[in-house]
């Protein structure tokens, strides 16, 4: 039994959940954050923070360590073979820090874990949400504590089993438990597909090429490809693989399978990288060293039919999914974490009522309506460069920004909303 019931339980300690918990804790409320995994992610996944996200982190004095660990990207260059045909200048954003900070997701998560610990909040790793039931004055939760049970001689070869089941009764639950969200399922929110699925062959390696301060979007036969310069001389390449071909790529290469957070991703053979680079990035002349990632990843486009209800609310991947190029899922998720935590704290403090949460839902659904091309379509006025016009619809998810920043960046290349 816990000594005092928490005001808020956050389910899922990815970047969005960690940031939500930090916001609640900083308002002085009791928060518990649980995650079924045994530690933060050890990979880069979403690898960049938008200019708007940097301002969110600054509120918690996290900007210094973030910038120390990151590489700054100030331009988005659009390439057609070797031809750089358009430039988006992030420095034109009217922000305190008008650039995108590229850093590994695991570095960000560790900074957030430490910031929470400094406020006396420890992530409860190995704790999985089992059941959830809204009641009049809160939410009844049962949480399973998982432990590894050795099979014979070595614990590393063991299986995760439920060691203990605990009950909690917070006033509110924040579901940041990713795209397979149990919280979303428990409250019966639909999870419709709203756009095409994309598959990306993702490679991360060190190179001696000078990639500068530019994220490069490379067009090839209507497929999206992107390279990000990363800290310490690494770079991340994501090459879109057509749907039919993706199944062939995964079938041929599926000798090994990488488990990330309980999900298996087929590994791609290293030789495939050379062919992708030759055809889709003919300008690239650099070395390929320490190839630390080579996965085939599937990205769906979904928007939850609602952001929550009553005392149970969603943020981050539990509520939406999009393509990977503009790193919008995590970044917009961080903003949601802040807004949702503030709305809930307002209710806890008697400063707001259900209208604060209704406003959260309306704003988030409108934002994702735009980002996913459902509402407020982007259009190319007459005279727009044909290659830029060819990116409509769909360009909403390619640029590393959201909301007004995204509209301003689209305007730089002649597109309007
Ligand atoms: C291989 C890979 C590559 C990616 N590349 C990109 C990219 O290039 N660009 C991009 O924008 N995004 C990318 N992403 C997606 C990006 O990682 C997510 O958008 C981001 O992590 C979302 O954060 P989140 O906090 O909402 O959810 P998550 O990071 O998914 O965190 C959810 C957490 O909830 C926990 N959890 C789940 N169920 C339960 C439960 N029942 N009880 C307790 N805990 C639970 C999980 O263990 C997890 O820690 C990639 C993802 C993967 C896996």
CB of 15 closer than 6 angstroms to any ligand 1 atom = yes
CB of 317 closer than 6 angstroms to any ligand 1 atom = yes
Q: What domains can be seen in the chain, in order of their start residue?
A: 8-61+106-192+302-371 (3.50.50.60), 72-90+196-298 (3.30.9.10)
Q: Which residue has the tokens 């949480």?
A: 143
Q: Which atom of ligand 1 is nearest to the CA of 265?
A: 1
The 8 Å CB, 24+ separation contacts for 333-337 are: 333/15, 333/16, 333/176, 334/15, 334/16, 334/19, 334/53, 334/56, 335/52, 335/53, 335/56, 335/402, 336/16, 336/360, 336/364, 337/16, 337/17, 337/19, 337/20, 337/23, 337/174, 337/176
Q: How would you write the pLDDT of the chain (417 residues) with one tens digit per residue?
A: 456 899 999 999 999 999 999 999 999 999 999 999 887 766 668 999 999 999 999 999 999 999 999 999 999 999 999 899 999 999 999 888 999 999 988 999 999 999 999 999 999 999 999 999 999 899 999 999 998 776 555 555 567 889 999 999 999 999 999 999 999 999 999 999 999 999 999 999 999 999 999 999 999 999 999 999 999 999 999 999 997 666 666 544 555 566 666 667 888 999 999 999 999 999 999 999 999 999 999 999 999 999 999 999 999 999 999 999 999 999 999 999 999 999 999 999 999 889 999 999 999 999 999 999 999 899 999 999 999 999 998 999 999 999 999 999 999 999 999
The pLDDT of residue 395: 94
Q: How many residues are recorded in the chain? A: 417
Substitution site in 177, 198, 227 for ligand 1 pocket (most atoms within 8 Å of beta carbon): 177
CB of 13 closer than 6 angstroms to any ligand 1 atom = yes
The answer, yes or no, to whether the previous bond of 393 is cis (omega within 30 of 0) is yes
The pLDDT of residue 96: 87
pTM of the model: 0.94
Q: Which atom of ligand 1 is nearest to the CA of 322?
A: 11
């Amino acid at each position: 039994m816990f000594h005092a019931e928490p005001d808020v339980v956050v389910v899922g300690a990815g970047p969005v959940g960690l940031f939500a918990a930090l916001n609640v804790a900083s308002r002085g409320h009791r928060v518990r954050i649980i995650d079924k995994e045994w530690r933060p992610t050890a990979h880069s996944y979403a690898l960049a923070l938008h200019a708007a996200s940097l301002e969110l982190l600054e509120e918690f004095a996290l900007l210094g360590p973030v910038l120390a660990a990151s590489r700054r990207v100030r331009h988005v260059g659009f390439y057609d073979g070797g031809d750089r045909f358009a430039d988006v200048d992030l420095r034109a954003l009217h922000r305190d820090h008008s650039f995108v900070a590229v850093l590994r997701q695991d570095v960000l998560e560790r900074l957030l874990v430490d910031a929470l610990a400094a406020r006396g909040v420890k992530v409860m790793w190995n704790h999985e949400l089992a059941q959830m039931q809204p009641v009049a004055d809160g939410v009844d939760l049962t949480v399973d504590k998982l432990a590894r049970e050795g099979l014979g001689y070595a614990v590393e070869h063991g299986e995760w089993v439920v060691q203990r089941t605990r009950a909690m009764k917070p006033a509110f639950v924040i579901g940041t438990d990713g795209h397979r969200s149990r919280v979303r399922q428990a409250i019966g929110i639909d999870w419709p597909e709203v756009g095409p699925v994309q598959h990306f062959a993702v490679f991360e390696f060190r190179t001696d090429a000078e990639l500068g301060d530019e994220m490069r979007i490379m067009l090839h036969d209507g497929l999206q490809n992107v390279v990000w310069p990363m800290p310490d001389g690494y770079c991340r390449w994501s090459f879109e693989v057509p749907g039919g071909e993706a199944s062939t790529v995964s079938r041929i290469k599926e000798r090994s399978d990488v488990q990330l957070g309980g999900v298996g991703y087929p590994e791609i053979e290293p030789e495939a990288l050379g062919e992708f680079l030759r055809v889709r990035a003919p300008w690239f002349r650099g070395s390929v060293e320490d190839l630390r990632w080579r996965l085939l990843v599937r990205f769906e486009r979904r928007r939850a039919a609602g952001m929550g209800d009553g005392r149970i609310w969603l943020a981050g991947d539990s509520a939406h999914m999009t393509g990977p190029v503009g790193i919008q899922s995590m970044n917009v998720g961080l903003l949601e974490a802040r807004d949702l935590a503030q709305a809930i704290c307002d209710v806890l403090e008697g400063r707001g009522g259900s209208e604060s949460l209704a406003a959260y839902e309306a704003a988030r659904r409108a934002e994702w309506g735009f980002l996913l091309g459902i509402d407020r379509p982007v259009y190319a006025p007459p005279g727009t460069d044909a290659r830029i016009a060819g990116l409509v619809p769909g360009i909403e998810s390619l640029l590393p920004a959201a909301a007004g920043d995204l509209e301003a960046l689209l305007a730089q290349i002649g597109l309007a909303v």
